[in-house]
Amino acid sequence: MTTPNRHRLATVCVGVVTIAAGLGVRAVLDGVVSNLVGVALWDTLVCCLIVLLRPEVSPRSLFIAGAIVGIGAEVFQATGVPMELYRAHPLFALVFGTTFEWADLLAYPAGAGLGAAGQALWLRGASAGVGE
């Protein structure tokens, strides 16, 4: 298996674990902590999707792109459109959220930072020849 394909496979695995962790946090915790951890993990998943598309993305670019997508999604919630989508089908809430919350604007960069850190670790291991 080539390095980009191994990277994508590892990213899919991290994405699955991220989804499970996000759903688990929401099931076990409630309130602000649950929300902020869930938001950060949502943005970590966004970073996984970016890496699937561009496995060579630099950690810095990944952080910036992930944070922009997350903050953009939060600002989109202020329009009310995500709430209407949620009313059409509850699964839309997992993708877009439902309501704007200022605190979430801090959680998105945290999730993007987690994704960027994972990418930095992968790239460092790849440049050192780990797994070859």
pLDDT higher than 60, residue 91: yes
**Domain membership flag for residue 132:** no
- What is the pTM for the complete model shown? 0.88
Question: Is 55 within the bounds of a domain?
Answer: yes
Q: How many CA atoms lie within 13 A of 101 on its CB side?
A: 14
Domain span including residue 27: 3-127
- Between 127 and 98, the more confident residue is 98
Residue given tokens 């990944």 in the structure block: 62
What are 28-76's pLDDT values in tens digits?
Answer: 998 999 999 999 999 999 999 999 999 999 999 999 999 999 999 999 9
DSSP state of 54: -
Percent of the chain with pLDDT over 90: 79
Count other Cβ atoms within 10 Å, centred on residue 84: 11
Tokens of 3: 């390095």
Residue 50 lies in a domain: yes
Work out how many domains the chain is built from and give that number: 1
